[in-house]
Amino acid sequence: MIILKTSQELSRMREAGRIAGGALAAGMEACKPGVTTMDVNRAVHQFITSHGAKPSFLGYGGFPASACVSVNNEVIHGIPSKQRILREGDIVSIDVGAFYKGYHGDTAATVGVGSVSAEAQQLMDVTARCLELGIAQAIRGNRIGDIGAAVQQHAESFGYGVVREFIGHGVGAQLHEDPEVPNYGRAGRGPRLAPGMTIAIEPMINLVGEDVEVQPDGWTVLTASGSLSAHFEHTIAITDNGPVVLTTRP
């Protein structure tokens, strides 16, 4: 069931989203050569808790950290570790959720560690653009398929693979709500978008191939090809005046 939010609920979601966005920015800033993925997680956790919120991911389904920190060929759900040291040229996908005043904000971005290859930079740029194009389709009267089609068309025009096993979703009082928001599909198909809907659009784009593999830890998702992957996400609200990004970053 798709839950439409009131203006008061949207206001609370904007607060949660801003905290999530700030925490993501803190995690991105921490991504420097020599730091560990646990250091990145710590920066995210401290930002969220210092603003009176709770990390949405900590303990969710048993997840042991406040942020998912995924490096290079890790698509999503990377578990932070004191042993995983970031090196020059790595790309790091950070996924963050903050729970505040009864509502969640969910956001992600991929950042380079120091200087990265042109190939890696293009993948990140294209994935970020996929998110922008998906958001642009999130207008009243459009359908969920319009979002996925825009993401898929742009990514595949570069020969990249669009992950299908993991998709975007509704967000609200629950971290994952209806509707499902795939990063692929056909325009004009799926649930119709209406004011008050709040969704997370999150393209996950692989350099080579769409297939992924879940590791034995039950969380970490790798590209089956071993190639790089990038991930960008915003929680947005559908309004009468167009899409509004709730997870803004400072």
pLDDT digits (tens, 9 = 90+) for 194-211: 999 999 999 999 999 999
Query: How far from 70 is each of 78, 111, 139, 155, CA to CA, in Å?
Result: 4, 11, 31, 20
Residue 250 lies in a domain: no
d(CA 55, CA 77): 15
Spatial contact of 113 and 91, defined as CB atoms under 8 Å apart: yes
**pLDDT, position 8:** 98
Query: How far from 214 is each of 38, 110, 217, 220, CA to CA, in Å?
Result: 21, 20, 8, 6
Residues in the chain: 250
Residue 223 lies in a domain: yes
Residue 172 lies in a domain: yes
**pLDDT, position 127:** 99
Residue 226 lies in a domain: yes
Query: Total domain count for the chain?
Result: 1
CATH number at residue 195: 3.90.230.10
Residue 80 lies in a domain: yes
d(CA 73, CA 176): 25
Torsion of CA 200, 226, 38, 111, to 10 degrees: -60
Residue 1 lies in a domain: no
**pLDDT, position 31:** 98
d(CA 98, CA 204): 21
The structure tokens listed for 217 are 């830890």
Residue 59 lies in a domain: yes
**pLDDT, position 213:** 98
The whole-model pTM stands at: 0.97
- Residue 118 belongs to what domain range? 7-245
**pLDDT, position 129:** 98
Residues of the chain predicted below pLDDT 50: none
Residue 43 lies in a domain: yes
DSSP letters for 87-131: -TT-EEEEEEEEEETTEEEEEEEEEESSS--HHHHHHHHHHHHHH
**pLDDT, position 37:** 98
